[in-house]
Amino acid sequence: MNGNVFDLAIIGAGAVGLSTAWKIQRHYPDMRIAVLDKEAEVSAHQTGHNSGVIHSGLYYKPGSLKARLCVQGRDELVAFCREYEVAHDVCGKIVVAATEDELPRLDKIFATGLANGLSAIERIDARQILEHEPYCRGIAGIWVPYTGIVDFPGVCRALAQLIPRVNRHSKVITGAEVVQLYRKGNVSYIETPRGQVQARYVIACAGLESDRIARMDGLRPQVRIVGFRGDYYDLSEQGMHKVRNLIYPVPNPAFPFLGVHFTRMVLGGVECGPNAVFVFKREGYGKTDFDFRDTRDALGYAGTWNLFCKHWRFGLDEYRRAFSKARFLKQLQRLLPGLVMEDLVPGRSGVRAMALAPDGSMVDDFAWETHQNAIHVLNAPSPAATACLAIGDEILAKAQEEFAWN
């Protein structure tokens, strides 16, 4: 690798790393930035395996980073996609209560949405649900006009092209797995198979590997990353007409997952999912993938066992559904009773990085920590892809404050 000395190295070319790099590059055009990713392409993990939804900010605790940055980032993302011609569509979504006992939770979500500034959301009744989605059955719902769909890998490719246009010495370097990270004086040395990179500052946005990169850098994070795979089914040609846009259930408040939903994809097709299954391999997309180190790290951690103890029934149900199309279909039929086996074909999957505290609780909000000349993003779960540009601004501000950048 030639020209391996940079002002800033960003580890991870997902939505968060690339947005952060772009925001910093635009603010400091003279700064030489290297974005390092271990894979051959950008957005190879969470960002490229997600549901492709521009979230509205409906669910998140008012005042949290998630709530603020989702709302801010959503609008900015749409503007970015317009400007740089990335496929997107602000088509809106409905959240649907199938049974009476879900109504108090629906009310709560509605109130949270209003508190987060979503003044255009509407409570809808069973007839209005049918107007939006003729095959959907529910007793009440919420219409959310802000929600959209987007090509997140397209967003990342656009960002990766924009960065070196601002500074021709900046680079997005793929195939560069960070295997060692150490500091001498005020310079960080980063070893990769493509050579050594030296940088004055480091920002790590490594998703499923974020806790390991933090430990490599000498930080001792309180949390550990545990992976939760989400499997999708595609609607077949014959079933595709049963969904127009996006249909979501009322989520279980005990979990940071939104429940299996129906999503029209911006590049075509309709997906149903994802479920949430504990994985034995952090970047394992197959149902039986296994990695010794990942399993040892997860099962050797008290937080994982505390999580299992608290939520064993939910976990078991999700496992059963992962291996049974009939059970998956049954869950989808709560909202779309007319769906049949032939409407579903197995699709892709994604793995979410969940930061787990030792007591088994899942860290809810976005989280980053400073360590000497580095900032480590330790938790960037959904809606971090939606919020990526706003997260970039937030990390820029943090770097200015912590590193006295002027």
Question: Which residues of the shown chain bind ligand FAD in the complex (CB under 6 A)?
Answer: 11-17, 36-39, 43-47, 49-53, 55, 177-178, 205-209, 213, 230, 274, 350-352, 380-386
- To the nearest whole angstrom, how small is the minimum distance from the Cβ of residue 297 to ligand FAD? 14
Q: Which is nearer to ligand FAD, 208 or 356 (CB)?
A: 208
Q: Which is nearer to ligand FAD, 107 or 364 (CB)?
A: 364
- To the nearest whole angstrom, how small is the minimum distance from the Cβ of residue 294 to ligand FAD? 12
Q: Which is nearer to ligand FAD, 25 or 51 (CB)?
A: 51
Exposed, middle or buried: residue 281 (CB in 10 Å: 0-12, 13-18, 19+)? Answer: buried
Show the beta-strand stretches assigned E in 260-333. 261-264, 270-273, 277-278
Spatial CA neighbour of 147 closest among 217, 52, 27: 52
Q: How far is CA 325 from CA 103, 234, 299, 330, 338, in A?
A: 28, 12, 28, 9, 16
- To the nearest whole angstrom, how small is the minimum distance from the Cβ of residue 260 to ligand FAD? 11
Q: Which is nearer to ligand FAD, 17 or 154 (CB)?
A: 17
- To the nearest whole angstrom, how small is the minimum distance from the Cβ of residue 104 to ligand FAD? 26
Spatial CA neighbour of 288 closest among 296, 298, 277: 277
- To the nearest whole angstrom, how small is the minimum distance from the Cβ of residue 251 to ligand FAD? 13
Q: Which is nearer to ligand FAD, 140 or 250 (CB)?
A: 250
Please check whether residue 240 is in contact with residue 269, taking contact to mean a CB–CB distance below 8 angstroms.
yes
Q: Which is nearer to ligand FAD, 140 or 384 (CB)?
A: 384
Q: Which residue has the tokens 């969904």?
A: 243
- What does 126-189 look like in DSSP terms, one character per residue? HHHHHHH-TT---SEEEEETT-EEE-HHHHHHHHHHHHHHH-TT-EEE-S----EEEEETTEEE
Spatial CA neighbour of 142 closest among 59, 47, 206, 85: 59
- To the nearest whole angstrom, how small is the minimum distance from the Cβ of residue 45 to ligand FAD? 4
User: Helices (H), strands (E): how many in the chain?
Assistant: 10, 20
Spatial CA neighbour of 35 closest among 126, 161, 123, 152: 161
Q: Which is nearer to ligand FAD, 321 or 352 (CB)?
A: 352
CA distance 344 to 17: 35
- To the nearest whole angstrom, how small is the minimum distance from the Cβ of residue 47 to ligand FAD? 3
CA distance 90 to 93: 9
- To the nearest whole angstrom, how small is the minimum distance from the Cβ of residue 239 to ligand FAD? 21
CA distance 303 to 360: 4
Residue least distant from ligand FAD (Cβ):
14
- To the nearest whole angstrom, how small is the minimum distance from the Cβ of residue 381 to ligand FAD? 5
Spatial CA neighbour of 381 closest among 359, 397, 362: 362
Q: Which is nearer to ligand FAD, 107 or 347 (CB)?
A: 347
CB count within 10 Å of CB 393 equals 19
- To the nearest whole angstrom, how small is the minimum distance from the Cβ of residue 386 to ligand FAD? 4
Q: Which is nearer to ligand FAD, 140 or 279 (CB)?
A: 279
Please check whether residue 34 is in contact with residue 229, taking contact to mean a CB–CB distance below 8 angstroms.
no
Q: Which residues contact 113 (CB under 8 A, 6 or more apart)?
A: 56, 57, 58, 59, 121, 142, 144
Q: Which is nearer to ligand FAD, 49 or 264 (CB)?
A: 49
> Quick one: tokens of 136?
């959907």
